[in-house]
Amino acid sequence: MNPLGLLQGDYRVFPNREIGLRLLEEAALNAWPSLETVYYDGWLLRFADGFTRRTNSVNPVYESSLPAAVKVRHCEALYASRGLPSVFKMTPFSEPQGLDDLLETYGYRRAGVTSVQTLALDSLKWTTISENLTMREKPDEEWLANYSLFNGVSDARRALMERMLAAVIPTTAYAMLRNGGEPVALGLAVRERDLVGLFDITTAPDMRGRGFGTQLIGALLEWGAQEGAKHAYLQVMLSNTPALALYDKFGFTEAYRYWYRVKELTATQPG
C-alpha cells in the first residue's frame, strides 16, 4: 500500500494517520543526511557542524521511555559540548505529547514554521524535458559552484554541504537549467520507494519571476515519475510567499507543518 494514501484519508490498513506522516518524515531525513547521528530513546540527534537547523537538531519522531525533562537536558549538554545551540525539530506527531509545551517553558523560542506538501504525480501531464536542462546523478563542480553563488554559500559551508550530499543513499537527480548558455536555475530530487522529494530549488537572483523555476520543477517531477515515484513532497517555509505560490500552481497541498524550538547557546553552558 502506498504510505501517502494515509494522507488522503485511507485508514483501512493503518488506523493511525501518523504512521504515514512518519514515513514521509523519514524520507526527508534520508534525503538530506547529517554528518553524524546519535540515537537516543526514540529521538534522532543530528550534527553537521552547524550547517542548517535541519541537520543540527533533535528529531523526536518515535516513542520514548525516559522522562522528557531528563532527555531535554541531556540533549542540551550534548549540543553545547559541540558549541551548538539546542534545536528541536517539532511536528504534530513528535514524541512524547506535550514536548512542545515543555520546551516553551524551558525558554525555547519557536522559529522556522515550514509546510510539508505533497502531490500525486498521476495528476500531472508531462512535456518533453528542455534541451536546456541537464540532469546528473551526482553534483558536478558547475552545479555546486552555482548553487553556492545563487545562495551566498561560503567555501567552508560548501565543503560541509558536499560531504552531506555525498552521504545521500537514495537515488538522486541534480538538475540545472540554462538560458542563453548560462545557468539560471537548479535543484535536487531524491527518490526513495514511491516518493520523490524536491530540495533546494533555487533561481539566480536576477532571473527570478521568468518561469525558470517552474520549468525546473516540472522536469524534476517528471524524472521522479519515470523513476517509479507516485507522489512528490517538498518542504517550504510559510514566510516564502513566492515559493508557496509556485508550488500551488502544480497542485501541491499541505500534509503537515513542522517548526523549530531553539535555545541559544549561553556563556554558562559547557562547550
For position 250, which CATH number holds?
Answer: 3.40.630.30
126 and 247 both lie in a single domain: yes
Q: Kindly state whether residue 202 falls inside one of the protein's structural domains.
A: yes
186 and 75 both lie in a single domain: no
61 and 105 both lie in a single domain: yes
> Which pLDDT score, from 0 to 100, does residue 19 have?
59
76 and 110 both lie in a single domain: yes
Q: Kindly state whether residue 74 falls inside one of the protein's structural domains.
A: yes
191 and 103 both lie in a single domain: no
End-to-end Cα, the chain, rounded Å: 47
168 and 109 both lie in a single domain: no
> Which pLDDT score, from 0 to 100, does residue 89 have?
98
Q: Kindly state whether residue 66 falls inside one of the protein's structural domains.
A: yes
Q: Kindly state whether residue 203 falls inside one of the protein's structural domains.
A: yes
Q: Kindly state whether residue 28 falls inside one of the protein's structural domains.
A: yes
Ranges of the chain with pLDDT below 70: 1-19, 127-129, 267-271
Please tell me the number of Cα atoms within 13 Å of 68 on its side-chain side. 17
How far is 73 from 160, CA to CA, in rounded Å? 28
Q: Kindly state whether residue 65 falls inside one of the protein's structural domains.
A: yes
> Which pLDDT score, from 0 to 100, does residue 130 have?
76
Q: Kindly state whether residue 233 falls inside one of the protein's structural domains.
A: yes
104 and 134 both lie in a single domain: no
> Which pLDDT score, from 0 to 100, does residue 39 have?
97
In tens, the pLDDT along 111-160 reads: 999 999 999 998 777 766 678 999 999 999 999 999 999 999 888 899 99
53 and 148 both lie in a single domain: no
C-alpha cell at 38: 546519535
C-alpha cell at 258: 513542522
Q: Kindly state whether residue 57 falls inside one of the protein's structural domains.
A: yes
Number of domains observed in the structure of the chain: 2
Give me the CATH number covering residue 12.
3.40.630
Given the DSSP bridges, would you call strands 253-263 and 86-90 parallel, antiparallel or unpaired? antiparallel
71 and 137 both lie in a single domain: no
How far is 113 from 117, CA to CA, in rounded Å? 13
For the residues of 219-236, what is the DSSP string, one character each? HHHHHHHHTT-SEEEEEE
State how far the alpha carbon of 73 is from the alpha carbons of 69, 80, 86, 123, in Å.
6, 11, 10, 47
Q: Classify residue 207 by burial, with Cβ atoms within 10 Å: 0-12, 13-18, 19+.
A: middle
> Which pLDDT score, from 0 to 100, does residue 266 have?
74
Sorted by sequence, the CB contacts under 8 Å of residue 147 that are 6+ apart come out as 139, 153, 161, 186, 200, 202
> Which pLDDT score, from 0 to 100, does residue 204 have?
93
123 and 250 both lie in a single domain: yes
73 and 134 both lie in a single domain: no
Strand ranges (E), 41-169:
43-47, 58-59, 86-90, 109-120, 133-136
Expressed as residue numbers, the domain containing 40 is: 3-115+258-263
How far is 49 from 72, CA to CA, in rounded Å? 20
150 and 185 both lie in a single domain: yes
